[in-house]
Amino acid sequence: MPGPMFTYDQEMTDLIFDFCRWRLTINPVPLDFGGVAEDLGVGLEGLLNDDGSSPAVVLDYYDKKLATAIVSVDSPRFLSFIPAAPTKASLLFDMVVSASSLQGTSWLEAAGAIIAENQVLSLLAKQAGLDSHAGGCFVSGGSLGNLSALTTARDHGRRQHPELQGRRLRFAVSEEAHSSVAKALHVIDVDALVVPTIDHRLTLAELEAALAADPEPETVVGVVATGGTTNAGIIDDLEDLGIYCRAKGLWFHVDCAYGGGAMFSSTHSHLLSGLRYVDSFIVDPHKWLYAPFDCAALLYRDPRIAKATFTQNAAYLDIIHSDSKEEWNPTDYAMHLTRRARGLAIWFSLCVYGIKAYIDAVDDSINIANRAAAMIEDCEHLELVRDPSLSIVLFRRKGWSDQQYSAWSTQLLQDQIGFVTPTKWEGETIARFAFLHPETTEAMVAEILATMA
Ligand SMILES: *Cc1c(COP(=O)(O)O)cnc(C)c1O
């Protein structure tokens, strides 16, 4: 006899579905407060006990105590870090993936999930300008995507350069590369040739200068560029870097975790045209492609190279590898084995709304960034630090100290007007807006700016 754990419970099901229905309805989503509540955690202990607690009691505790201590990344007033704005269809289908326990590990078990995920990966590859041989898989986030791509690049570098045996390999990276790139290099024990940039944007001239000044340029086997820095939305000179890397046989990896959404922009996609030269790139649909967490796409120009790195050989796994042509095992392309079919939520959403709706949403984010910049220019006490790039705006409140920015940011959240954390730019503390929620309005931006007078 199965116990209650595996028995359908009408009441609990209604409770959860009603909660989800309510959460999907609230508009605008309130910011909530993050970890500021003094009584956070009070009462948690009693809930987890030997005999179980009533679902209504546990859910009520979550709703009242825990959820309010989580800042809602999907609030249109969340303009810090990189916000999130998952589409309604993607959120709903994520529930289907959960309720159906959908995994997407191997073709043998999950061809139906994988073929749909691959339809999305093909679309992303096509937007990037890669041909139909490109492929990869969805991973949990950009960090795991970068790690997996760079592991493949390192192995490939080793194979291509037997003469470097016994020496340390390196990748050239811009000083603006995301922290996850340094972390990945640390994990795979590869060094960085850090290329200084004049205007935070890696150019070919800067790469060539760094290589020319380096005593061991032959140990550099790849270049990591960024398609939209997280702090400022700046896109490296992908076109020239890409052409150079192809000519020199250097692995070209582009981190588009945030900026990859701009592949769908009707006005800015050309800035990513150099993606057609990549050996690998990543984009996080859980950022600017409106998918729920955790969803990052990892793509390779020639996925066979990644397969050489990641195919796991174990007696019990032999059966998932066959010679069939359409067979595609996501597990062969990244640092994972069992995986949630996390690409299905964006697949469903793309099918339901169509690609044009995504283009409009991405365009809206860039437009509101530009309008916010214009509003900032109109304020006596504010000034732009630089022109907005993609959907990110850097600006300063003239005369403010670090403490004033941080006190202002805390108060803004306290008053539920906005979540805007200060950032650093060239050593200075400044304010930063990152837009991507289609329901962030000019009125909300004006309300935030008014608090800086
Ligand atoms: C967010 C981000 C990452 C890390 O992605 P996660 O999904 O948070 O792991 C890497 N690179 C850039 C440019 C990013 O914006």
Q: Using 50, 70 and 90 to split pLDDT, how confident is the model at 313? A: confident
Ligand 1 centre to CA of 82 (Å) is 9
Query: What per-residue confidence (pLDDT) applies to 197?
Result: 96
Closest atom, ligand 1, to C-alpha of 177? 13
- Most ligand 1 atoms within 8 A of CB, residue of 80, 201, 229, 255 to mutate: 255
**Segment 388-435, tens digit of pLDDT:** 999 999 999 999 999 999 999 999 999 999 999 999 999 999 999 999
As a whole number, mean pLDDT of residues 107-128 equals 98
CA of 178 relative to ligand 1 center, distance in Å: 7
- Domain match, 215 and 313 both: yes
Secondary structure, 3-state, the chain? CCCHHHCCCHHHHHHHHHHHHHHHHCCCCCCCCCCCCCCCCCCHHHHCCCCCCCHHHHHHHHHHHHHHHCCCCCCCCECCCCCCCCCHHHHHHHHHHHHCCCECCCHHHHHHHHHHHHHHHHHHHHHHCCCCCCEEEEECCHHHHHHHHHHHHHHHHHHHCHHHCCCCCEEEEECCCCHHHHHHHHHHCCEEEEECCCCCCCCHHHHHHHHHHCCCHHHEEEEEEEECCCCCCCECCHHHHHHHHHHHCCEEEEECCCHHHHHHCCCCHHHHHHHHHCCEEEECCCCCCCCCCCCEEEEECCHHHHHHHHCCCCHHHHHHCCCCCCCCCHHHCCCCCCCECCCHHHHHHHHHHCHHHHHHHHHHHHHHHHHHHHHHHCCCCEEECCCCECCEEEEEECCCCHHHHHHHHHHHHHCCCCECCCEEECCEEEEEEECCCCCCCHHHHHHHHHCCC
Q: Percent of the chain at pLDDT above 90?
A: 93
With 80 as the cut, is the pLDDT of residue 312 above it? no
223 and 123 housed in the same domain? yes
173 shares its domain with 306? yes
Place of tokens 């989503």: 29
Query: 428 and 341, same structural domain?
Result: no
| Residue 88 forms part of a structural domain | no
Pocket test for ligand 1, best of 148, 179, 230, 256 (most atoms within 8 A of CB): 230
Residues 66 and 196 both lie in one domain:
no
237 inside domain: yes
Structural domain for 378, as ranges? 355-450
Q: Please name the residue whose Cα sits nearest to atom 14 of ligand 1.
A: 257
Question: Is residue 160 domain-shared with residue 54, that is, in the same domain?
Answer: no
Q: How far apart are CA 255 and CA 258, in angstroms?
A: 8
Any domain includes 119: yes
At 254, give phi and psi (nearest 5°): -120, 125
Please give the distance, rounded to the nearest whole angstrom, from the Cα atom of residue 283 to the centre of ligand 1: 8
The per-residue pLDDT for 106 is 95
Other Cβ atoms within 10 Å of 398 Cβ, number: 10
Q: What are phi and psi of 7, to 5 degrees?
A: -105, 135
Task: Tell me: do 57 and 136 sit in the same domain.
Answer: no
The verdict on the CB of residue 295 being under 6 Å from ligand 1 is: no
Asked which of 41-50, 211-220, 288-297 is least confident by mean pLDDT, the reply is: 41-50
* CA-proximal residue: ligand 1, atom 4 (nearest): 142
Summarize the confidence of residues 4-33 as an average pLDDT. 96
Residue nearest to atom 12 of ligand 1 (CA): 257
Backbone angles phi, psi at 409, to 5 degrees: -60, -40
**Is 207's pLDDT higher than 90?**
yes
pLDDT at 270 over 80: yes
Pair (58, 113) in one structural domain: no
Amino acid of residue 434: A
Ligand 1 in contact with 75 (CB < 6 A)?
no
**Would the CB of 296 count as within 6 Å of ligand 1?**
yes
Residue 254 Cβ contacting ligand 1 at under 6 Å: no
Mean pLDDT across the chain = 96
Q: Which atom of ligand 1 is nearest to the CA of 256?
A: 13
Task: Choose the final residue of a domain: 353, 380, 407.
Answer: 353
CB atoms inside a 10 Å sphere around CB 307 = 16
Distance (Å, rounded) from C-alpha 402 to C-alpha 406?
A: 6
Q: Is the CB of 73 under 6 A from ligand 1?
A: no
Residue 226 belongs to a domain: yes
86 within domain boundaries = no
Q: Are residues 345 and 362 in the same domain?
A: no
Per the domain annotation, does 83 fall within a domain? no
Two structure tokens written together for 404: 């004033």
Domain boundary among 299, 326, 353: 353
Here the contacts of 262-266 (C-beta below 8 Å, separation 24 or greater) are 262/227, 262/228, 262/235, 262/288, 262/362, 262/366, 262/390, 263/124, 263/127, 263/128, 264/127, 264/289, 264/355, 264/358, 264/359, 264/362, 265/359, 265/362, 265/363, 265/366, 266/359, 266/363
Q: Ligand 1 in contact with 141 (CB < 6 A)? A: yes
In a domain, 82, yes or no: no
Torsional sign, CA 287, 85, 131, 229: negative
Domain tally for the chain?
3
Cα(287) to centroid(ligand 1), Å: 9
195 vs 223: CA distance, rounded Å: 10
Q: How far is the CA of 453 from the centre of ligand 1 (A)?
A: 33
Q: Are residues 368 and 232 located together in one domain of the fold?
A: no
List pLDDT tens digits, range 44-103: 989 999 999 999 999 999 999 999 999 999 999 999 999 999 999 999 999 999 999 999
Q: Within a domain: residue 85?
A: no
Q: What is the pLDDT of residues 323-373, one digit of tens each?
A: 666 799 999 999 999 999 999 999 999 999 999 999 999 999 999 999 999
Question: CB of 142 closer than 6 A to ligand 1?
Answer: yes
Whether 230 lines ligand 1, by a CB cut-off of 6 Å, is yes
Tell me the mean pLDDT in the region 162-172. 97
Residue 273: is its pLDDT beyond 80? yes
Q: How far is residue 76 from each of residues 61, 84, 435, 438, measured CA to CA in Å?
A: 25, 9, 9, 8
Same structural domain, 360 and 326: no
Number of C-beta neighbours around residue 241 at 10 A? 26
Q: Does 140 share its domain with 186?
A: yes
CATH of the domain at 428: 3.90.1150.170
Domain ends where: 312, 336, 353?
A: 353
